[in-house]
Structure 1
Amino acid sequence: MASCPKILVLVIFASLLGFSLAARQLTETTQPMTFQYHKGPLLNGKIQINLIWYGQFKPAQRAIISDFVTSLSSSRSEAQPSVATWWNSIGNYHRLANPKTKTTPLSLSFGKQVVLEAYPLGKSLTNKHLVELASKGAQQANAINIVLTASDVAVDGFCRSRCGTHSSAYISKNSQKFTYIWVGNSETQCPGQCAWPFHQPIYGPQSPPLVAPNNDVGLDGMIINLASLLAGTVTNPFGNGYYQGPKEAPLEAASACPGVYGKGAYPGYAGNLLMNPTTGASYNANGINKRQYLLPALYNPATLSCSTLV
């Protein structure tokens, strides 16, 4: 366990991850905020994760993401620390939200993949486009549809104020909602903002970039942002779950611990991490197919601290 420092919302850190479509502005503050449960529903039960690929992704790049999603609920005996162990800590939120009620355990499954390589909506997307793309996944209350945009696709607010976002939209057949996530590949547009610590930061303390565990700065950066947004989606799916700060720009389960990946982290330093002796890559979680990933610390509402895997 690593104690959580005062919230330092730096341009290079996870404040880029917003819940609402009006994502958190990139400002700097040292004012600590109280993490609260706002009495809204959390996602639980059996959740299907669907991937919508927009633009050109190599098969090897798609495998990095799909293996990560599968690793979240893997029952295989991966080396520790594992992606599944990281994800299982989300259960702290469910137990704290319903201490007297036995909720249905959260269970993830890999759903379908939609590949849109021909850029049917162009290469400059609005928030409305993101909802349209997210709707191509399963429109059901127990689904999370993840839109992944290629490195040559511009999205409103991308790099300027966010690396991705999560929100919800109404299912066309009824009044229920489904949740969705968007994450962009920042490799050519803003790796210093959205792929840190695998790229030199644009602002803030300067330190040498780490070697990306899957040898792809853009995709390994996407994993960090996707992991953060998945944690936020489950614990604050509709804007009234767990978060701190204003509802319009909340800090959530992962973004409440910006820039923290291992013990001893501080602004500009990701923390004490594991290193692959062959590649020199830094990581803190093992996945299926011998994958290694770098995942953000999660805020533990029971201990009021940021919890790291290493």
Structure 2
Amino acid sequence: MASCVSKTQKKFLIVLFTSLFLFSSAKPIQTQQSLLLQYHNGHLLTGNVSIDIIWYGKFASYQRAIITDFILSLSSSTPTNAQPNVATWWNIIGKYYNLVKPKIYKLVPSLGNQIMDPYYSIGKRLNINQIERLASKGSQKHAINVVLTSADVAVQGFCSKCGTHGYLESELLNKRKHRFKFAYIWVGNAETQCPSNCSWPFNLDIYGPKTPPLVAPNNDVGVDGMVLNLASLLAGTATNPFGNGYYQGSKEEPREAVSACPGMYGMGASPGFPGKLLVDVKTGASYNAYGVNGRKYLLPPLYDPSTKTC
């Protein structure tokens, strides 16, 4: 079909869309074409799923509490009346499940087993195979096994990525006497390792605009950064657990529920600027969600499949 748009009209449209992109501060402009996460007809994690944590290395009790309170906050069965809250953020994930036909139950996360390994049983320099070995220590049915490494543990590929999610084949058998897959996540503490990459915006981004870093909501730059990355990877695990769920782009480097919306923590976000956030008047800490036990968290943006925006 021939185009009916004149050269003058084309120039006007280019200027108009450029202006919208550059100067919109109330809401980011994202089109369906550029931000459509396709469903690849794979299995999603459904029903009640426990999040088992393997604590590798030394974590103080208050650091563990920051993360376990975050996991408890995901469930509406552990509510907090303050808004916006973590459970409301997680409820966006349910919209992905609503699009699957025939209908399936959404994932309902809960805090599961906690396995402690404070003495570095396999050393302080780990590769991905060793991370997977640690992940296998958790439950392998109806669970996501989360390996968290402390600040003094170096993991292969750390800094180029702050964590990862994947799946493994269980050593157990299902009812049909077949081995089944289970999901795992790894997140590292970046307090002393590339904090500008993995704990931004709580650390200065050395590659971006020199805006002052935000004050971490729980006063722990490393662990508050871990919450950011864990939240992102939990969203990716729920919606793309086995590499054939919701994603855009290549299967090897997919854009998922959070990674499709990088750096957009609040209204008016732009490269190097996380956006307008809530600020604790006593501590100066920035946050965008309330959790249980009086917690405050900074959570990453989720791609909403119903509005096709972040």
TM-score band by shorter chain is 0.7 to 0.9
TM-score, normalising length: structure 2: 0.87
| Structure 1 unaligned spans of 5+ | 7-30
Match of 1:50 in 2: 52
Q: Kindly provide the amino acid, as one letter, of the partner of residue 171 in structure 2.
A: S
Match of 1:18 in 2: none
Match of 1:121 in 2: 122
Match of 2:22 in 1: none
Alignment of 1:112 onto 2:113: yes
1:2: how far off? 3.6
Q: How far apart, CA to CA, are the structure 2 residues paired with 1:56 and 1:282?
A: 26
Match of 1:22 in 2: none
Q: How far apart, CA to CA, are the structure 2 residues paired with 1:2 and 1:44?
A: 32
Task: Write out per-residue CA displacement over residues 232-267 of structure 1, whole angstroms, 9 at most, x where no aligned residue.
Answer: 000000001001111000010001000011111111
Identical positions, percent: 59
Task: Please show how residues 205-284 of structure 1 align to structure 2 within 5 Å.
Answer: 205-284=209-288
| Structure 2 unaligned spans of 5+ | 1-25, 174-178
Computing the radius of gyration from Cα coordinates, the structure with the larger value is 2
User: 1:171 touches 1:178 (CA, 8 Å); kept in 2?
Assistant: yes
1:97: how far off? 2.2
Q: How far apart, CA to CA, are the structure 1 residues paired with 2:104 and 2:36?
A: 25
Q: More helix per residue: 1 or 2?
A: 2
Alignment of 1:92 onto 2:68: no
Match of 2:21 in 1: none
Match of 1:132 in 2: 133
1:34: how far off? 4.0
Count how many residue pairs are aligned between Structure 1 and Structure 2: 278
1:139: how far off? 1.4
Q: How far apart, CA to CA, are the structure 2 residues paired with 1:55 and 1:163?
A: 17
Q: Kindly provide the amino acid, as one letter, of the partner of residue 42 in structure 2.
A: G
1:166: how far off? 0.1
* Shift in CA distance, 184/4, structure 1 to aligned 2, threshold 3 Å: farther
Identify the structure with bigger relative contact order (alpha carbons < 8 Å, sequence gap 6+).
1
User: 1:78 touches 1:287 (CA, 8 Å); kept in 2?
Assistant: no
Match of 2:68 in 1: 66
Q: How far apart, CA to CA, are the structure 1 residues paired with 2:136 and 2:207?
A: 36
Q: Kindly provide the amino acid, as one letter, of the partner of residue 154 in structure 2.
A: A
Task: Kindly report the root-mean-square deviation, in angstroms, between the aligned alpha carbons of the 2 structures.
Answer: 1.5
1:106: how far off? 2.3
User: 2:53 touches 2:113 (CA, 8 Å); kept in 1?
Assistant: yes
Q: Kindly provide the amino acid, as one letter, of the partner of residue 216 in structure 1.
A: D
Matched residue SS, 1:250? coil
* Shift in CA distance, 84/34, structure 1 to aligned 2, threshold 3 Å: closer
TM-score, normalising length: structure 1: 0.87
